[in-house]
């Protein structure tokens, strides 16, 4: 069963488009909506509970098939800031570039999201 959506897809796509148009002036509320929408998209594309993707302070999601964790720190964690996450989700930056630059912290054998990013719903139409 896919996770329950909290972000209306139309509002999420609009927030991503607004952010993409000029990331330096996108209001904080727009960035938050874009991050949450793209995290939900990741969970739809790669359902599961093996990897926790954290984008503080805007959101987190569990995704990717594999062993489920129930308590404590999960064995597979990806953490990054909102701008880096949106760059990855939209294809403005590659996974390798972000990891090499230290903008993504990824731990665990399933924490490589290169094959899942960018997200189709977040790319320009």
pLDDT exceeds 60 at position 98: yes
> Residue 67 has what pLDDT?
78
Specify the higher pLDDT residue, 123 or 65.
Answer: 65
Quote the pTM value: 0.91
> Residue 64 has what pLDDT?
93
Cα dihedral angle (102, 104, 109, 110), rounded to 10 degrees?
-160
Extract the tokens encoding 4: 């329950």
Specify the higher pLDDT residue, 11 or 4.
Answer: 11
DSSP 71: S
Helix, strand counts (H, E) of the chain: 4, 4
Q: What is the largest CA-CA distance in the chain?
A: 40
pLDDT exceeds 90 at position 51: yes
């Amino acid at each position: 069963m896919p996770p329950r959506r909290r972000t209306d897809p139309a509002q999420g796509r609009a927030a991503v488009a607004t952010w993409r148009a000029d990331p330096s002036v996108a209001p904080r509320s727009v960035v938050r909506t874009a991050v949450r929408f793209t995290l939900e998209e990741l969970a739809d594309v790669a359902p599961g509970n093996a990897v926790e993707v954290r984008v503080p302070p805007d959101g987190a999601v569990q995704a990717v098939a594999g062993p489920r964790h129930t308590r404590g720190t999960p064995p597979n964690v990806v953490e990054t800031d909102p701008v880096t996450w949106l760059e990855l989700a939209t294809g403005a930056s590659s996974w390798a570039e972000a990891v090499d630059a230290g903008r993504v912290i990824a731990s665990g054998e399933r924490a490589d999201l290169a094959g899942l990013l960018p997200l189709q719903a977040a790319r320009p139409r």
